Amino acid sequence: MSDTPHFSAAFRQQLVDLIEWRRDVRRFRTDPIPPDVLTEILRLATHSPSVGHSQPWRFVLVEDPGLRVRIRRNFSAANSEALHAYKGEKARLYASLKLSGLDDAPVQLAIFCDNDPQAGDGLGRQTIPQTLHYSVAGAVQTLALAARAWGVGVGWVSIIDPIDAKESLNVPEHWDLVSYLCLGYPQEEHRDPELERFGWQQRLPLESFIFRR
């Protein structure tokens, strides 16, 4: 086809840079993200593959200050509980880490999976229903890469009670929280993950993930 794109070696190198510079950001500037930029990032996320083309992602922009306070309290309680699972030096290190950008990020985005989407008519998910959630997780990755291309940082707040968050945001019962994200312009730029930089976990070699049968 004449309109099939050709990706040059220079583009492929830029893709490498995009992936390697995509970081989980927790230190945000408070500058707002222009609405058209945010809309484009969300639009690109919806171009992710999904099982049966079901497109089960549901984006909830959390803008109400009262709801943000409830989410912040949710995180604080979950973070305190998580700290108790560690002892000694690991507990000290955990307590020193900055694990969310909830206080400064201009955009907070809850991403849910609709477990009963009309789109797709159930194709492909009869055997492995979890593929709906996997599809949403793929959209989160696409969103993070798209945001990075626009200079926007994304932080995934995983230390959160998903049931409490779901109740706070008053979404349909058949939606599951997959990801709670903070978006904004980062205060700092780093190629290495913060958890690696501060000594929590080093990157494992590729060989440790590959198995042959």
pLDDT value, residue 105: 97
Residues 173 and 166: their CA atoms lie apart, in Å, by 9
CA 204 to chain centroid, in Å, comes to 21
pLDDT value, residue 209: 96
pLDDT value, residue 2: 67
Q: In the chain, how many domains are there?
A: 1
- For residue 35, being part of any structural domain is answered with yes
* E strands in 33-150: 57-61, 107-114
Residues 80 and 112: their CA atoms lie apart, in Å, by 25
Residues 4 and 9: their CA atoms lie apart, in Å, by 16
Q: Are 103 and 26 in contact (CB under 8 A)?
A: no
pLDDT value, residue 1: 55
Burial code of 112-146, b = ≥16 C-beta within 10 A, e = fewer? bbbeebeebeeebbeeeeebbebbbbbbbebbbbb
- For residue 13, being part of any structural domain is answered with no
Domain range enclosing 148: 25-187
- For residue 72, being part of any structural domain is answered with yes
91 contacts: CB under 8 Å, gap ≥ 6:
83
- For residue 64, being part of any structural domain is answered with yes
Distance in Å from the first CA to the final CA of the chain: 38
CA-to-CA separations, 185 to 16, 37, 143, 154, in angstroms, rounded: 21, 12, 15, 9
- For residue 62, being part of any structural domain is answered with yes
Write the CATH number for 99: 3.40.109.10
Run means of pLDDT, 10 residues per run, the chain, 213 residues: 86 95 93 98 98 96 97 96 94 93 96 95 91 97 97 96 97 97 94 90 94 96
- For residue 205, being part of any structural domain is answered with no
In sequence order, what are the beta bridge partners of 176?
113
pTM for this model (two decimals): 0.93
